[in-house]
Chains A and B, each alone.
Chain A
Amino acid sequence: GAVVSQHPSRVICKSGTSVKIECRSLDFQATTMFWYRQFPKQSLMLMATSNEGSKATYEQGVEKDKFLINHASLTLSTLTVTSAHPEDSSFYICSARGQRSTYEQYFGPGTRLTVT
């Protein structure tokens, strides 16, 4: 149980375009989903927290208009990187917390974004 999927696993896009990443909880309802980014040889940095049906809460320094998060249902959250630039190239990982779980987050497999 507690499986989280992400799609796509890898994406290459051109500078200036937008790309959408989906995060789904497959066998549980996720009240809260989290989006992280990870640069090579670094740890995970929390970008934002999203609760179903409400606006996401962004961490300090993360641009809301650039990283659009939508948590439309209890099983789906999306992250859209708008007007992507090469410095947005990174590994994006989502996680989800279920209704009955305490503090544990279940992580998706990650999405490797490369902006050319």
Chain B
Amino acid sequence: GQNIDQPTEMTATEGAIVQINCTYQTSGFNGLFWYQQHAGEAPTFLSYNVLDGLEEKGRFSSFLSRSKGYSYLLLKELQMKDSASYLCAVVSGTYKYIFGTGTRLKVLA
């Protein structure tokens, strides 16, 4: 079957670093996306990993290990506006996304 797991909730302090993990077991793999979603809004693109390794983009970095079925999103210098849900999505054998359960991040002052 297809399974993608993320922690349900995380809390961190403004200015800190937080790592959100995503583990997956899917029948096919054409890459993994990370999206940010504020309540009642559409998901917005953060990153895409298809090869192993770390992709850095400003305060956000994403890591992928295909052999381990594992990815993480790293957020540095947390800001209050980073309070949102973070969704990992695996592209399976077709063009479909399989979304993880989502992680609600709360940033405290």
Q: Chain A: residues with CB nearer than 8 A to chain B? A: 32, 34, 41-46, 49, 91, 93, 97, 103-105, 107-110, 112
- Across chains A and B, the number of contacting residue pairs, with CB separation under 8 Å, is 48
Instruction: For A109, list chain B residues within 8 Å (CB).
Output: 41-42
The yes or no answer to B23 lying at the interface (CB within 8 A) is no
Instruction: For B91, list chain A residues within 8 Å (CB).
Output: 103
Q: Chain B: residues with CB nearer than 8 A to chain A? A: 30-31, 33, 40-45, 48, 87, 91, 94-102, 104
Are A43 and B104 in contact (CB-based, < 8 A)? no
Are A91 and B95 in contact (CB-based, < 8 A)? no
Interchain CB contact (< 8 A) of B96 among A34, A42, A104, A107: A34
Among B91, B97, B98, B102, chain A packs the most CB atoms within 10 A around the CB of: B97
A93 to B44, CA, bound (A): 12
Query: Given A43-B100, A46-B96, does the pair A103, B48 have CB atoms closer than 8 Å?
Result: yes
Instruction: For B99, list chain A residues within 8 Å (CB).
Output: 43-46
A107 to B38, CA, bound (A): 13
Are B48 and A107 in contact (CB-based, < 8 A)? no
Instruction: For B45, list chain A residues within 8 Å (CB).
Output: 104
Query: Given A43-B102, A103-B48, does the pair A97, B95 have CB atoms closer than 8 Å?
Result: yes
Are B87 and A103 in contact (CB-based, < 8 A)? no
